[in-house]
């Protein structure tokens, strides 16, 4: 099978690459196209093209690839890349849309209006639509779902537990937390309003807790969050390390006691799944994607992020029960592997790919 994968970015947090391209690297002949220039080296066997940020250059690249290759499946991972594909096949190659699948990687309500419009156009044009979970599918407005519901299916995100095991088995003696604090807290995600890191910092200002907090990610709120962190009691050590490689992120998870996500919206967050398997206790906002994951009893606290007292209470629970939190690190491993393993997701997507090929061959 030959597959063309279209995504906006290729970086350490790119699900199209980490989950899909790496997951299928030994079974599918893949070409990965990203609009923006990639900032990591990729596995051998995956062909890579990028538009260096230029839409016109990307249209030309995609048109040339489609002209010179017979792809069995084209998998679109963003609205903007879907529009680029439509422009690349205009006006004589629209039949190729019978071989397309679009994945909605987020919940509809937190997607910017411009991207909602782009997604909507692409969703009407493609043959199949997959969402990253039931909560993502349920977030699509009813009036839209009325027209696309019969070609839309929910396939829950999967995480690669073999990668975590490999990182754990080859981890060096270098530690990322300094070890001097009573509690090790990790927050993974873009530093923006949706991810809502400020809610945690505001709660920390209200308490005295011996904790080390590490934020992994970049975003427009970074300076504001750093300034806010400076106002927190000195017994909390807070560090912003930026966006790091996936393996380095996993190393942090393997050391952390607690993973915190106070996000206002998600698709179905891979970082939560990875940190659960790595042994982290979870403090999560009450949003549908987090409730869909539903970590095992005793390994998660769901909180209303509008109530600062709830965040403070959850952190105090961790402080008072840190020995139990550490003793039960393995509790979530089997649950996450059995319900959100990457092999489950890839198996369902392979069925989608096969159905596209079967439909094409029947025409």
The structure's pTM equals 0.94
Do strands 183-188 and 211-216 pair parallel, antiparallel, or not at all (unpaired)?
parallel
Peptide bond before residue 91 is cis, with ω within 30 degrees of 0: yes
CATH no. for 2-158+341-362: 3.40.50.2000
Q: Report the candidate in 250, 252, 245, 230 with the shortest Cα–Cα distance to residue 186.
A: 252
Domains 2-158+341-362 and 161-340 share a fold: yes
- Rounded to whole angstroms, what are the CA distances from 160 to 22, 34, 337, 346? 9, 22, 9, 11
Q: Quick one: 161-340 is in which CATH superfamily?
A: Glycogen Phosphorylase B; (3.40.50.2000)
In this structure, are residues 186 and 259 in contact, taking their beta carbons and an 8 Å threshold? yes
Q: What is the pLDDT along the chain (363 residues), one digit of tens a residue?
A: 999 999 999 988 899 999 999 999 999 999 999 999 887 777 778 999 999 999 999 999 999 999 999 999 999 999 999 999 999 999 989 999 999 999 999 999 999 999 999 999 999 999 999 999 999 999 999 999 999 999 999 999 999 999 999 999 998 888 999 878 899 999 999 999 999 999 999 999 999 899 999 999 999 999 999 999 999 877 789 999 999 999 999 999 999 999 999 999 999 999 999 999 999 999 999 999 999 999 998 999 999 999 999 999 999 999 999 999 999 999 999 999 999 999 999 999 999 999 999 988 887
Any idea where the domains of the chain sit in the sequence? 2-158+341-362, 161-340
Residues 6+ apart with CB under 8 A from 81: 6, 7, 8, 33, 35, 58
99: DSSP letter: G
For residue 351, how far is the Cα from the chain centroid?
22
Helix, strand, coil shares, percent, the chain, to 5: 45, 20, 35
91: DSSP letter: T
């Amino acid at each position: 099978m030959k597959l063309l994968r279209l995504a906006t970015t290729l970086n350490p947090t790119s699900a199209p690459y980490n989950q899909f391209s790496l997951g299928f690297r030994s079974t599918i002949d893949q070409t990965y196209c990203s609009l923006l220039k990639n900032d990591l080296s990729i596995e051998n066997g995956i062909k890579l093209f990028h538009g260096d940020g230029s839409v016109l250059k990307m249209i030309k690249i995609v048109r040339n690839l489609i002209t010179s290759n017979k792809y069995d499946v084209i998998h679109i991972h963003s609205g903007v890349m879907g529009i680029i594909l439509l422009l690349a096949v205009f006006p004589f190659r629209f039949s190729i849309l019978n071989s397309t699948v679009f994945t909605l990687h987020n919940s509809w309500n937190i997607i910017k209006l411009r991207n909602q419009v782009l997604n909507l156009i692409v969703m009407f044009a493609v043959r199949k639509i997959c969402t990253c979970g039931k909560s993502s599918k349920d977030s699509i407005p009813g009036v839209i779902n009325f027209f696309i519901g019969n070609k839309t299916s929910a396939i829950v995100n999967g995480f690669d537990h073999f990668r975590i095991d490999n990182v754990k088995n080859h981890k060096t003696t270098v530690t990322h937390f300094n070890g001097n604090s009573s509690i090790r807290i990790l927050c993974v995600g873009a530093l923006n309003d949706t991810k809502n890191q400020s809610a945690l910092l505001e709660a920390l200002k209200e308490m005295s807790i011996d904790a080390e907090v590490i934020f992994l990610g970049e975003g427009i709120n970074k300076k504001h969050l750093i300034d806010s962190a400076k106002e927190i009691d000195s017994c909390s050590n807070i560090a912003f390390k930026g966006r790091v490689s996936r393996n380095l992120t996993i190393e942090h998870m393997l050391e952390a006691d607690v993973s915190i996500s106070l996000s206002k919206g998600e698709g179905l967050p891979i970082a939560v799944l990875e940190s659960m398997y790595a042994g982290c206790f979870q403090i999560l906002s009450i949003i549908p994607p987090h409730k869909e994951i539903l970590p095992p009893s005793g390994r998660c606290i769901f909180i209303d992020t509008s109530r600062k007292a709830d965040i403070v209470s959850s952190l105090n629970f961790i402080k008072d029960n840190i020995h139990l939190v550490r003793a039960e690190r393995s509790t979530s491993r089997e649950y996450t592997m059995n319900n959100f393993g990457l092999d489950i997701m890839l198996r369902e997507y392979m069925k989608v790919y096969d159905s596209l090929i079967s439909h094409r061959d029947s025409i």
